[in-house]
Structure 1
Amino acid sequence: MAAAGKENVFAPWKDDAAVPLIRIDQVSKRFGDFTAIDKISLNIYPQEFFALLGPSGCGKTTLMRMLAGFEKPSGGVISIDGQDMVTVPPNKRAVNMMFQSYALFPHLSVWDNIAFGLRRDGLDKDRVAARVEEMLKLVQLGQFARRKPHQISGGQRQRVALARSLAKAPKLLLLDEPLGALDKKLRQETQFELMDIQEKTGTTFVIVTHDQEEAMTVASRVAVMDQGKLIQVETPQVIYEQPNSVYVADFIGDVNLIPGSVSELGGGAALAWAEGKPPLLGQPGASLAKGQNATFAIRPEKIAISAEEPQDRNNRVQGKILEIGYLGNLSTYHVELPEGPVIKCEVGNRSRVERRDFTWEDEVWLSWSDTAGLVLAR
């Protein structure tokens, strides 16, 4: 029995008995001599909100287009709900796709845009009307039903496109950079609306994005991609706190990277980084060996800054403040070490800016716990 006040955590990928909705098995896609997708294998489960994340050209959109049926794999198998999709055309798949441009019909009202696919399927008027009203209620646009797309805001058009995509109750909804056209504040608000709608409908969502914050906010799991390969597939927390490579650590959020070599391995890992300086201690990444080249990764918010040398931490370095950035809720300090690296740390602003403790050119100490950083193979 679960403890009072605690809910079961949604993690079907940890359950050996769970059956994936999508199976991607050794899938490749080549365009002439160029390999866009290189032998990817991946399972996505029912009711997941799954994110494909990576820079432009990494293959994420190509993988989504293969799920939709707009591209055929050069090798491997894609199955959805147990059915091999290789010979199934896009219009016969229980899949819908929402494009970044929304692709709404400008001459049709919000109501008619949502109804369009249902009418194409030959549903009777009463069923169409009931489903459209259900979708309007879901996306909270009932009062805008008779307006044309140009008469509503960008965020509202995004919700119309979402309602139209969900109206036919697909097993899988693909979202291609769906929030890219929105300004930052509206994009952040809409992220939570997307999560709420996905949870209410129980539809499996797969979102393609290059926006790390967006992927980390909405997704149950994130697949970080590069050059047609999956680099790491994990929950947002694991991706951020325990990246499996320097690439993932550097791509997700801010990170300080200090090169060196592994000097000790045991319960943790020690990285020799500067002659005559104590090694940096951190958690070991996979496949480390003593003496090999490695990189120490530490997030800026895990670093403390002080005027006096801290005596209670093994990881401590001294340097001079080069730059200060004021971001409202926090301040960032760029501290240059005599050994060469510039370290960034972030401090929450709990007092007014005129009471800042440090200023430019100050000599300061940076410190962090033995478990705050990671030693990663390069």
Structure 2
Amino acid sequence: MSQTVFAPWTDPAAKPLIRFKNVTKRFGTFTAIEELTLDIYEREFFALLGPSGCGKTTMMRMLAGFEDPTEGSIELAGEDIVKVPPNQRAVNMMFQSYALFPHLTVRDNIAFGLKRERKPRDEVDARVEEMLRLVQLQPFASRKPHQISGGQRQRVALARSLAKAPKLLLLDEPLGALDKKLREETQFELMDIQEKTGTTFVIVTHDQEEAMTVASRIAVMKDGALMQVATPSQIYENPNSRYVAGFIGDVTILEGKATKLGDAYEVRWAEGQPPLRAKSTLDLADGAECQLAIRPEKVEIHGEKPSDDNVLQGKVIDIGYLGNISTYHVELANGQIIRAQNFNTERDTRRAFTWDDNVWVNWTENCAVLLDH
């Protein structure tokens, strides 16, 4: 039986849980966020992604109530929360450091916020047990934070943040302290917990893979502005700018001039190199400057010249072996490097191509993304 796709942002009648409206934030003469408008919907796992200093943490701090916008408004469930104190917002925040109390047990750390609200003891105990089951830490309930692993401490912090059933949970680089393998495992745990609780998660991260794995949508940020807000697949397959294409994943960018040819464009990009073709919905004037973005997994590598479009000849100058894939760096006659990836589907360690081999690379006209900025 088919399931309904979760995409409230495509429904004009859907009301967002969070709404940034023309928000600007200045620190003295420095503008961290400028005229930013963004909607985030209930039950989303939303990622703010960008390099250090792009404004993503400032956005999160404004949602938490630790910073006020200089201009504009921020709404939560239809209410302007700019003047609402942090402790009165239906928002909780999980910090990168986890901020657990070292002298309290796992159980008491999770119960801390509930006890401060003077909830009845049986209600607190029931909620803590529910949270322990959710994060699978029942056997560790009586231990102190120093007696459990980093991944378990991360789950304690998550359980404590969710114990008060906030409408919104903010996660500030929550997996940054974990090693790569544990971080990857925890990403899926986070997704599972978010789906089970139905809580809206907003995560701040500079890790592209993390954002692509966990998020329903990603906002790619630069210098206090939103460059693109879309699903992970849209961001990756259809970036709207050179910046987004280069920020998410590996990519080769070729600069050239476009000429319309039917439902595609011909791109003349280098003296002595054949023109390339790309399908695009962009409306470019003939001779307009453009860029072609090509992902390495879309590029095929051959020992003999194929009879296809977008065929270029070069020499293998570098090979990166990552177990499941090998990345070939192919240098063309004009010095341009094209990256091509092959999946290593067999255990044979001999490669089809090696250093200094003369090869041909190609891709279909549907695989390259045409960009105008």
Structure 2 residue aligned with 1:114 = 110
For residues 206-254 of structure 1, give each alpha carbon's deviation from its aligned partner in whole angstroms, at most 9, with x where no partner exists.
0000000000000000000000000000000000000000000000000
Structure 2 residue aligned with 1:273 = 269
Q: How much has 1:352 moved relative to structure 2?
A: 3.2
In the alignment, the residues of structure 2 paired with residue 52 and residue 266 of structure 1 have an alpha-carbon distance, to the nearest angstrom, of 38
In the alignment, the residues of structure 1 paired with residue 58 and residue 283 of structure 2 have an alpha-carbon distance, to the nearest angstrom, of 31
| 3-state SS, counterpart of residue 355 of structure 1 | coil
- Aligned match of 2:251 in 255, 276, 295? 255
Deviates more, 1:188-197 or 1:255-264: 255-264
Structure 2 residue aligned with 1:57 = 53
In the alignment, the residues of structure 1 paired with residue 354 and residue 191 of structure 2 have an alpha-carbon distance, to the nearest angstrom, of 41
Structure 2 residue aligned with 1:323 = 318
In the alignment, the residues of structure 1 paired with residue 57 and residue 266 of structure 2 have an alpha-carbon distance, to the nearest angstrom, of 39
Structure 2 residue aligned with 1:348 = 343
One-letter amino acid matched to 1:34: F
Structure 1 residue aligned with 2:366 = 371
Q: How much has 1:289 moved relative to structure 2?
A: 2.7
1:132 aligns with 2:128: yes
For residues 28-70 of structure 1, give each alpha carbon's deviation from its aligned partner in whole angstroms, at most 9, with x where no partner exists.
1001111100111011010000000000100000000000000
- Aligned match of 2:172 in 151, 169, 176? 176
Structure 1 residue aligned with 2:236 = 240
| Kept in 2: contact 1:244–1:285 (CA 8 A) | no
Structure 1 residue aligned with 2:85 = 89
Identical pairs, percent: 66
1:142 aligns with 2:104: no
In the alignment, the residues of structure 1 paired with residue 346 and residue 120 of structure 2 have an alpha-carbon distance, to the nearest angstrom, of 63
In the alignment, the residues of structure 1 paired with residue 262 and residue 285 of structure 2 have an alpha-carbon distance, to the nearest angstrom, of 11
For residues 261-280 of structure 1, give each alpha carbon's deviation from its aligned partner in whole angstroms, at most 9, with x where no partner exists.
11335412221111243211
Structure 1 residue aligned with 2:215 = 219
1:159 aligns with 2:145: no
In the alignment, the residues of structure 2 paired with residue 37 and residue 246 of structure 1 have an alpha-carbon distance, to the nearest angstrom, of 21
| Kept in 2: contact 1:287–1:377 (CA 8 A) | no
Query: How does the TM-score come out when normalised to structure 2?
Result: 0.98
| 3-state SS, counterpart of residue 342 of structure 2 | strand
One-letter amino acid matched to 2:224: G
Give matches, 1:19-98, under 5 Å. 19-98=15-94
Structure 2 residue aligned with 1:361 = 356
| 3-state SS, counterpart of residue 193 of structure 2 | helix
In the alignment, the residues of structure 1 paired with residue 137 and residue 236 of structure 2 have an alpha-carbon distance, to the nearest angstrom, of 36
In the alignment, the residues of structure 1 paired with residue 119 and residue 264 of structure 2 have an alpha-carbon distance, to the nearest angstrom, of 63
Structure 1 residue aligned with 2:330 = 335
One-letter amino acid matched to 1:110: V
| Kept in 2: contact 1:95–1:170 (CA 8 A) | yes
In the alignment, the residues of structure 2 paired with residue 289 and residue 124 of structure 1 have an alpha-carbon distance, to the nearest angstrom, of 69
For residues 64-123 of structure 1, give each alpha carbon's deviation from its aligned partner in whole angstroms, at most 9, with x where no partner exists.
000000000000110001110111010000000000000000000000000000000110
Q: How much has 1:286 moved relative to structure 2?
A: 4.0
Structure 1 stretches lacking a partner, 5+ long = none
Query: How does the TM-score come out when normalised to structure 1?
Result: 0.97
| 3-state SS, counterpart of residue 343 of structure 1 | strand
Moved over 6 A (4+): none
For residues 273-329 of structure 1, give each alpha carbon's deviation from its aligned partner in whole angstroms, at most 9, with x where no partner exists.
112432111133645332122111000000000000000x21110000000111100
Q: How much has 1:178 moved relative to structure 2?
A: 0.3
Deviates more, 1:132-141 or 1:267-276: 267-276
In the alignment, the residues of structure 2 paired with residue 218 and residue 124 of structure 1 have an alpha-carbon distance, to the nearest angstrom, of 35
In the alignment, the residues of structure 1 paired with residue 261 and residue 107 of structure 2 have an alpha-carbon distance, to the nearest angstrom, of 63
In the alignment, the residues of structure 1 paired with residue 106 and residue 341 of structure 2 have an alpha-carbon distance, to the nearest angstrom, of 45
| Kept in 2: contact 1:99–1:177 (CA 8 A) | yes
Structure 2 residue aligned with 1:293 = 289
Deviates more, 1:287-296 or 1:131-140: 287-296
Structure 2 stretches lacking a partner, 5+ long = none
| 3-state SS, counterpart of residue 364 of structure 1 | strand
| 3-state SS, counterpart of residue 87 of structure 2 | helix
One-letter amino acid matched to 1:242: N
In the alignment, the residues of structure 2 paired with residue 35 and residue 99 of structure 1 have an alpha-carbon distance, to the nearest angstrom, of 24
| 3-state SS, counterpart of residue 349 of structure 2 | helix
1:302 aligns with 2:286: no
One-letter amino acid matched to 1:113: N
In the alignment, the residues of structure 2 paired with residue 77 and residue 221 of structure 1 have an alpha-carbon distance, to the nearest angstrom, of 22
One-letter amino acid matched to 1:44: I
One-letter amino acid matched to 2:32: A
The alpha-carbon distance between structure 1 residues 151 and 29, as it changes in their structure 2 partners (threshold 3 A), is same
